[in-house]
Amino acid sequence: MSENTAETTHTTRSQAWFGGRDKVGFFHRSGIKAMGVPDRMFDGRPVIGICNTWSQLAPCNAHFRDLAEYVARGVYEAGGFPLEFPVTSLGETLMRPSTMLYRNLVSMDLEETVRANPLDGVVLMCGCDKTTPALLMGAASVDLPTIVLSGGPTSTGRRNGVQLPSGTGTYAMYDQVRAGEMSTDEFVAAEACMWRSNGHCNTMGTASTMAAIVEALGLGLTGNAAIPAVDARRRVIAQDTGARAVELVREGMVMSKVLTRAALENAIRVNAAIGGSTNAVIHLLALAGRAEVDLCLDDFDAVAAGVPLLVDLVPSGKHLMEDFFDAGGLPVVINELGSLLHLDAITVTGRTLGENVDGLTGWGSPVIRTRGDALQEDAGIAVLHGNLAPSGAIIKPSAATPELLVHRGRAVVFEDIDDLRARIDDPDLEVDVDSVLVLKGAGPCGYPGMPEMGNLPIPAKLLAAGVTDMVRISDARMSGTAFGAVVLHVAPESAVGGPLAFVRSGDVIELDVPRRRLHLEVEEEEMTRRRNEIRPGGGAEPAGGGGYTQLYVEHVMQADTGADLDFLRGKRGSGVPRASH
């Protein structure tokens, strides 16, 4: 046994593959040796899987080949043996109909690959939006020692001296085109200016949010969330992450020791303080389901109550991730939140969350405010209930026009996304600034895959009149880079017969965020009549056609429980499958 592996206090899982001097051990070692691996790598040292979501179809993760080399260096440095493997990657900019359709599929890919192979611990390389929750979910179901390396944000984009925030800038410019304030040529010319390098969106969108949540959960090294993708320090933390993965195996620090209710509460509170994405709600609910931690939709409202908005980043504020990194990143936020967090929660560093950030208080940058100078006093995501959303709906007040948080207006209904696209800019559309835009058929089953269509575009004629926000309601999600008075994740969704299916244009809808109320002013008798007019099971045609999509539609749960597949919830452990030789 080598000097490095002498510290290993128990037989590693990988020895079930590599430890025998029999035919089975021969096959397992021989295959690996074909890659030029020396015999000493099978001496019982921790074998670390490096799960790489590199793909040219996921440009945000296109630097991961390089980054994985640094993870491997760290594994070797600490006396481990790295084995890199791919899982399906999810590129937010390209995949149709929605990456969310495939989040659960990738989680299965990761879970089954890890369990079926001789791995003692795992490094999850996450970047573009859904790659993070997908890998976290799959890893939680296996429950080996696990550590996350985020890919980091792309560099700040500018055109003609104007900052172009990833995603958010696209929505803003396209509204300018639709309002006749920007030419199509100018719009297209901005394409190459927005994402200037590898790395995920540089706003506090879903990718940045999930990277911050990884750090808040204690599943990544301190500072992991904000280091830019192209910064040399991203390589350093990659190497440190690989080294730490080896130590986690030696310490027997499985994922469930870190991923506790306290850690999830920390993530919910940090999400409020950073002005994080609404997508965090659905991903954390799904993750809790895998980890068998009791967490419900209403917890997001209750747990984050009184947490102030501290981070001034687009879309809730005006700065970008490079500015956040320069301000000190998430450790500064954690220190500022202080007693609002469970600072005694254990993390993958082997220390508590509080110990990790001790002394990391930043330099007073206005990008990260103090609690006494918060951007908003109460920044949590609000969970709404009412006859329009019996199982709940959410809104991000920090990204909405404050005057619209209490609003009553007549519905303008779009039956599905095609209907929306066909009519939203129709000059004859009966809509005014007080209307409530309603979109059906965009929930987990409905589209399927719950696309990020919840921030319905403002009708062109209202845009031209200077309208910038309206109340919008749907069973869809919204990009973390989007903003507005947008009610999302209405559950049950219209496609499975939720009350949203029965809303008609002209109905009056009341939104009252302070009272957490979403109410359709239609008598119950009339609702029953409308319900009976629609075929049992709701308004959407049942999905067929076989393949993964059919499996998904038949098993996906509603948004209020995380839209996981029902048979994937819970831990199935890392039990070694029988050898095939």
Where do the DSSP E strands lie in 405-516? 406-414, 436-439, 471-474, 486-491, 508-512
**Residue 283 is which amino acid?**
H
Residue in 67, 78, 100, 128 binding ligand FES, rule: CB under 6 A: 128
**Site membership for ligand FES, residue 93 (CB under 6 A):** yes
Beta bridge partners of 22: none
CA separation, residue 293 to residues 205, 410, 559 (Å)? 25, 40, 17
Give 191 or 358: the residue with its C-beta nearer to ligand FES. Answer: 191
Name the nearest CA neighbour of 265 among 224, 223, 293: 293
Complex with ligand FES: residue 126 or 147, whichever CB lies closer: 126
Confirm or reject binding of residue 201 to ligand FES (CB under 6 A): yes
Residue 482 or 556 having the CB closest to ligand FES = 482
Question: How far apart are CB 94 and ligand FES at their closest, in Å?
Answer: 9
Task: Using alpha carbons only, give the angle 531, 535, 537 rounded to the nearest 5 degrees.
Answer: 85
205 lies in the site for ligand FES, by CB under 6 A: yes
Residue 129 lies near ligand FES (rule: CB under 6 A): yes
How far apart are the two ends of the chain, measured CA to CA in Å?
A: 26
What residues contact residue 38 under an 8 Å CB cut-off, 6+ apart?
none
Binding of ligand FES at residue 207 (CB under 6 A)? yes
What gap in Å lies between CA 412 and CA 466, rounded to an integer?
19
Residue 498, exposed/middle/buried by CB under 10 A (0-12, 13-18, 19+)? buried
- Residues 186 and 168: their CA atoms lie apart, in Å, by 17
Residues 31-90 that bind ligand FES (CB under 6 A): 60
Rg of the chain (C-alpha set): 24
Residue range at the interface with ligand FES (CB under 6 A); choices 29-37, 199-207, 358-366, 534-542: 199-207
Quote the least distance from Cβ 206 to ligand FES, whole Å: 7
Q: Among residues 29, 45, 115, 200, which is the contact residue for ligand FES, using CB under 6 A?
A: 200
Cβ proximity to ligand FES: between 58 and 340 the closer is 58
Per CB under 6 A, 164 contacts ligand FES = no
Of 9-17, 24-32, 197-205, 525-533, which part binds ligand FES (CB under 6 A)? 197-205
CB 152 within 8 A of CB 142: no
CB of 90 to ligand FES, least distance (A): 9
Q: Does 270 contact ligand FES by CB under 6 A?
A: no
Least distance in angstroms from the C-beta of 58 to ligand FES: 7
* Residue of 15, 64, 92, 104 interacting with ligand FES (CB under 6 A): 92
Rounded alpha-carbon distances, angstroms, from residue 83 to 224, 230, 324, 423, 565 = 22, 24, 33, 52, 29
Site for ligand FES in 379-418 (CB under 6 A): none
Q: Which residues pair with 393 in a beta bridge?
A: 384
Q: 200 or 489: whose CB is closer to ligand FES? A: 200
- Please, which residue, 41 or 313, has the CB nearer to ligand FES? 313
With CB under 6 A, what is the number of residues at the site for ligand FES? Answer: 11
Binding site for ligand FES (CB under 6 A): 60, 92-93, 128-129, 166-167, 200-201, 205, 207
